[in-house]
Amino acid sequence: MARVTEEQVEAVRALVAAIPPGTVSTYGDIAEVAGLSSPRIVGWIMRTDSSDLPWHRVVPASGRPAPHLATRQLERLRAEGVLATDGRVPLREYRHIF
């Protein structure tokens, strides 16, 4: 993976913080707006620096959370009014447009 700058980390953090309750964004959406070459960079930043952010509002492009996070993430989203169908968030309904 290419070197990640502090500016890129802060851009991702700001975008995640800007996702309103009741909506979600994908790693790819965030990467595109932040000018990053890959959604994987967003994933890396989220893994290393997102404990104080609404991390649960970021989902993969499939809308299906990672298995190890699914229960907790879907519960948090449900509390905000985001309802999953068969474990998948319907992006057409809940996707935040930056």
Delimit the domains of the chain by residue range. Answer: 4-78
Residue 1 has pLDDT above 90, yes or no: no
Selection from 97, 2, 4 nearest residue 45 by Cα: 4
Instruction: Tally the C-alpha atoms within 13 A of residue 20's C-alpha that lie toward its C-beta.
Output: 7
Is residue 31 very low, low, confident or very high in pLDDT (cuts 50, 70, 90)? very high
Q: Which 3 state secondary structure label does DSSP give 74?
A: helix
Q: Which tokens hold the place of 56? A: 């649960």
Is residue 22 very low, low, confident or very high in pLDDT (cuts 50, 70, 90)? very high
55-78 burial, b at 16+ Cβ within 10 Å, e below that, comes to bbbbbeeebebeeeeeeebbebbe
Residue 2 has pLDDT above 70, yes or no: no
Helix, strand, coil tally for the chain in percent (to 5): 50, 10, 45
pLDDT per residue as tens digits for the range 32-91: 999 999 999 999 999 998 889 999 999 999 999 999 999 999 999 999 999 999 999 999
Q: What is the pLDDT of residue 50?
A: 85
CATH 1.10.10.10 fits domain 4-78: yes
